[in-house]
Amino acid sequence: MAQILVVDDEIGIRELLSEILADEGHQVMLAESAGEARRLRERARPDLVLLDIWMPDTDGITLLKEWAASGQLTMPVVMMSGHATIETAVEATRIGALDFLEKPIALQRLLGTVKRALRSPEAAAAPQLSLSALGRSPVLADTKKRLAQLAQAGAPLLLRGERGMRPELFARLLAAPAAPFLAGAELLAEAPSELLAKAAGGVLFFPDLTRLGRAEQRNLEFLLARAEKHKVRLVSFSPLDMRTLVEKHDFDAELATRLGILENRIDDYPHQFSGGMRQRVMIALALALNADVVIADEPTTALDVIVEAQFLDLLRELRDEFNLTIVIITHNIGVVAEVADRVAVMYAGRMAELGSVHDVFANPMHPYTQGLLRSVPNIELTGDELYRMEGQPPNLVSPPSGCRFHDRCPHVMDICKEVVPGFDPVRWDRRVACWLYQQQPAHSEVTAAT
């Protein structure tokens, strides 16, 4: 039993074909217009389409071209018409139609054509659309690489270019092979929560932002706010830049910014971005290079506390999603506590202590780490003066001998001033560079070492 889509604006033809095909044991779907056919094709790939050429909204040839351009012409299509010319039939075949039925359609001719179409290679299960479908030229190879990188990110994506660039094909390539892919502006008429449930884990594609009215834009905004929660990727296309879209098509400026922030800011200089945006751009650069390790040097310095919290959330999400190793260099103990698994405390260019964040914070061993944690402001301590370590960090041009912390250390011993402590394990997962935890060498060894 095959699933056959009959597209014809004449109810009599639809019902007659439906009856005949159902009698043959096929499952029949009916569409009275190109719009309805588009919607049904989005939902599922039929095994065969019988497509009328002359229809009042969009004619069959145009619909066939749309399917071909969007990569959806993966099933056999038989065109039908009562007044089509040979040229029209040839054009339909050139676009990808398999055969042609002239109205009035004779029963035997219909059944024979349907049988042949269902046995054709086009009727076999459609191959999964993949990046390899784009060909092998250097330009396409570069496009494939970029699409593969974009496919990994979950953020909303705005495609920009000529209408003929086949945006839907690119949007389809961003969806995982078995994931749902729903496309069409008409989706915005559906209940947003049901639509998100249907598209969960996949892609929702809106093919032309210039055609969205205000009500549809509001629905798109609703989807945008909830898509991430449902693991839905929103991909949209605009043949116009965002500024023109807002000015000439009554498009909501805020929504345009959220959909196309990079496109809007692509020509801006770094000083025109906020601190948070600069940090995001740097992270995007690191991800675009497929980095395994990202080193972030004082990543929250320019950020206020709210943006800092958002940025740290983003770092954590990216770390989990891309399996990244992130090395953060910071003076901010709070940032370490928020995002790190392990911490290495450094003093005057040398490792002082290494361990899990939980362990080091709960039980600091090196006197410098102890002083550092005691000097962190604590909102629960009132009336007491905040602890501060005595002295200043040393001049690294001529650093102190022995332990570089010795002239500030409350536990300093003679050996500390003469011999550099090793950075030795004191437990299986903990290292401390301090003579308090290490066997001190004999006096003769100390003399030799100095």
- Quote the least distance from Cβ 429 to ligand SF4, whole Å: 20
- Quote the least distance from Cβ 404 to ligand SF4, whole Å: 8
Is the Cβ of residue 76 or residue 421 nearer to ligand SF4 in the bound state? Answer: 421
Is the Cβ of residue 135 or residue 422 nearer to ligand SF4 in the bound state? Answer: 422
- Contact yes or no for 165/144 (Cβ under 8 A): no
- Quote the least distance from Cβ 421 to ligand SF4, whole Å: 5
Is the Cβ of residue 196 or residue 415 nearer to ligand SF4 in the bound state? Answer: 415
Greatest Cα pair distance in the chain: 112
- Contact yes or no for 405/367 (Cβ under 8 A): yes
DSSP 99-153: EEEESSPPHHHHHHHHHHHHHSGGGSPPPPP-GGGG-SSHHHHHHHHHHHHHHH-
Is the Cβ of residue 234 or residue 434 nearer to ligand SF4 in the bound state? Answer: 434
Strands (E), 313-413: 325-329, 342-347, 350-356
Q: Is 353 helix (H, G, I), strand (E, B) or coil?
A: strand
- Quote the least distance from Cβ 412 to ligand SF4, whole Å: 4
- Quote the least distance from Cβ 441 to ligand SF4, whole Å: 13
- Quote the least distance from Cβ 332 to ligand SF4, whole Å: 23
CA 327, CA 293: separation in Å to the nearest integer? Answer: 7
Q: Is 204 helix (H, G, I), strand (E, B) or coil?
A: strand
Q: What's the distance, CA 286 to chain centroid?
A: 14
- Contact yes or no for 327/295 (Cβ under 8 A): yes
Is the Cβ of residue 62 or residue 438 nearer to ligand SF4 in the bound state? Answer: 438
Is the Cβ of residue 68 or residue 389 nearer to ligand SF4 in the bound state? Answer: 389
Is the Cβ of residue 80 or residue 403 nearer to ligand SF4 in the bound state? Answer: 403
CA 58, CA 425: separation in Å to the nearest integer? Answer: 75
Which spans of this chain sit near ligand SF4 (rule: CB under 6 A)? 366-367, 403, 405-406, 409, 411-413, 416, 421, 434-436
Amino acid at 274: S
Is the Cβ of residue 49 or residue 409 nearer to ligand SF4 in the bound state? Answer: 409
- Quote the least distance from Cβ 442 to ligand SF4, whole Å: 17
DSSP 267-318: T--GGGS-HHHHHHHHHHHHHHTT-SEEEEESTTTT--HHHHHHHHHHHHHH
CA 210, CA 250: separation in Å to the nearest integer? Answer: 9
- Quote the least distance from Cβ 418 to ligand SF4, whole Å: 10
| Cross-strand pairs, 369 | none
